[in-house]
Amino acid sequence: MREFIRGLSRRTVVTFFGVGYGIALLLALFPPFYLGASGIATPILGVPFSIAYWLIDGLLLGFGLWGLYIVEDIRGELDESLVPAAPIAGE
């Protein structure tokens, strides 16, 4: 799996996660979607659907960010220059 992820082009990774973020933004910012969800009375795991809609949207965004972090870590694209190499004296 790691070799597959390393073999992907940067454009493929950005497109895949960009589509996920686009869907999450569309669900949050396009009024017909969330207004349509507010009229559904079916509970999901005991939570009203209108609340579950926002929870699912937030989870989609959160898991997308988590997935992108993991993929960038596997590909070695994380910016490690932000982490100090040695602890600062006096701390």
Q: Give, in order, the Cα–Cα distances in Å from 40 to each of 55, 73, 85.
A: 15, 40, 53
The parts of the chain modelled with pLDDT lower than 50 are none
User: Taking the model in full, what pTM does it have?
Assistant: 0.70
pLDDT attached to residue 82? 67
pLDDT of residue 88: 62
Grouping H, G, I as helix, E, B as strand and the rest as coil, residue 47 is strand
DSSP category for residue 13: H
pLDDT at residue 76, rounded to an integer: 86
What is the predicted pLDDT for the residue at 85? 62
Give the pLDDT of residue 84: 61
